[in-house]
Each structure stands twice: as C-alpha cells, then as structure tokens.
Amino acid sequence: MHSRAAAFILVLAALSLSQQAVATESAYTDVDLDHCQTLAEPAEDEPGDFISLKCKGYKDYPLYFKEGDLRQSVYFGYLDKEIVEGAAETFAPFNHIGKKAEWRLDDNGKPFAAILRFHIENSNPDTGMPDKNLAGQVLVVSRVGQPDNMRGCVVGYVDALANPDPNTLARDLADEKAKSFVCGKDNPAFSGAKGEKAGETAYNFPRDDAQ
C-alpha cells in the first residue's frame, strides 16, 4: 500500500511539473525606434510625415512600426507585403507607443501574440490641443505573423485606465483569441470596460472576406 501511494504521489508530481512546463509565458523586449531599418518615408521634396520601420523584436520575429499624421501602428512577426505596406490599425486621436513589448509564448517558446501599450493624446475641447489630464492608455493585443501564416494584426484592446488589472486581462485576451483570430476578416474589439479616455480606434487593414 505504501509503495502504491508513493507511486501515485510521484505521478501527480510529474503531471504538475508537466503542466507548469507547458504554461504560457511572456518575454519582454525593448522598442527601440532609433535602431531600425527604414522601409518607407517621404522624399525630401515630398510633403507629409509618414514613416515605416522594421525593428528588432523577439529573436527572429521582427516588429514593424508606422507613423503618419502623429498616429502610430505596430505589427509583429512575419508579415505579408500587403500588411507591411497597407495596414495601419491605430487610434483617431494623436497617440504614441510605449517602450516595452510583451510577447506571449507557446509551450515551444514561439511567440503567438504581443501586447503593447499605446498612449492616447486626447485633446481638450476648449483648446483643441492634447491635454495630459485627458490622456488615455490602451493595451493593444496583436496576433504575431508566422513563417507559415504571415498574417499579423490587432486582435483587441484593453483600456489600461478603466480596468483594475489590465495586464492580466490583455494576457487572457491574447491567449484566448490570438491563435484563432483571422486577420482581415475578424474585427478587433475592446475587452473589459472602456472609458472615455481610451479614444476611438482607426481601422485600416487589407480585407480578405474570402477566408
């Protein structure tokens, strides 16, 4: 009896360790826009302030950054050319991204989702200028493009000021939806509460309703 009980305990311990080993984990990388490859920008005599960059991400998964009219968008991983050149999921108010990206990793250590904080520069209606007292923060959850499926896009949003534990909410959103999310067909949405400071989203992505 004692030997059987001991064996049973060992099996339970092994199962517990196995579950811990396959648990979803996070890796963090700095977003350094000063050391990126420029993909597109206006010519010297061309009006506009657009820029498109390819930056270091997590291991061999790059980070793509775009800015136009003081509005930014970011994509992660291996991407189709049409996404790199044509997509720009951002916010209607002026905005800028945070300096740290969180990558969600599967049990093989491969990133399948990324989380990045956006700072929303809401304007004061009396002055028409961005007001720090009205500033918002949104965690943007994205699907990471893969070598065999080069479709990366925004999966959803979490208002970082309107929810008590926004980071956990963003991780749950990433873990539950990123892998099955169909870029160009499924529409990203807010998870949890959404306050006025979160701002309105601006969606521009190559549609593929045939998927």
- Indicate whether 3 pLDDT > 80: no
State residue 85's pLDDT score: 95
Residues 109-123: what's their mean pLDDT?
Answer: 98
Percent of the chain with pLDDT over 90: 82
- Indicate whether 196 pLDDT > 70: yes
Task: Give me the chain's average pLDDT, please.
Answer: 90
State residue 23's pLDDT score: 58
Residues 84-101: what's their mean pLDDT?
Answer: 97
State residue 209's pLDDT score: 54
DSSP string, the chain: -HHHHHHHHHHHHHHHHHHHHTS-EEEEEE--TTS-EEEE---TTS----EEEEEEEETTEEEEEEEETTEEEEEEBS--HHHHHH---EESSEEEEEEEEEEEE-TTS-EEEEEEEEEEEPBPTTTSSB-GGG-EEEEEEEEPBBTTB---EEEEEEETTTSSSHHHHHHHHHHHHTTT--TTTS--EE-S---GGG--EE------TT-
Between CA 196 and CA 74 the distance in angstroms is: 23
Q: Six-digit token pair at 88?
A: 């720009």
Percent of the chain with pLDDT over 70: 86
Give per-residue pLDDT as tens, 8-56: 444 444 444 444 444 589 999 999 999 999 999 988 777 678 999 999 9
Q: pTM score > 0.75 for this model?
A: yes
Give per-residue pLDDT as tens, 179-193: 999 999 999 999 999
State residue 21's pLDDT score: 40
- Indicate whether 134 pLDDT > 80: yes
- Indicate whether 86 pLDDT > 50: yes
Q: Six-digit token pair at 5?
A: 């009980």
Residues 70-76: what's their mean pLDDT?
Answer: 97
**pLDDT-wise least confident of 85-94, 150-159, 202-211:** 202-211
State residue 4's pLDDT score: 55
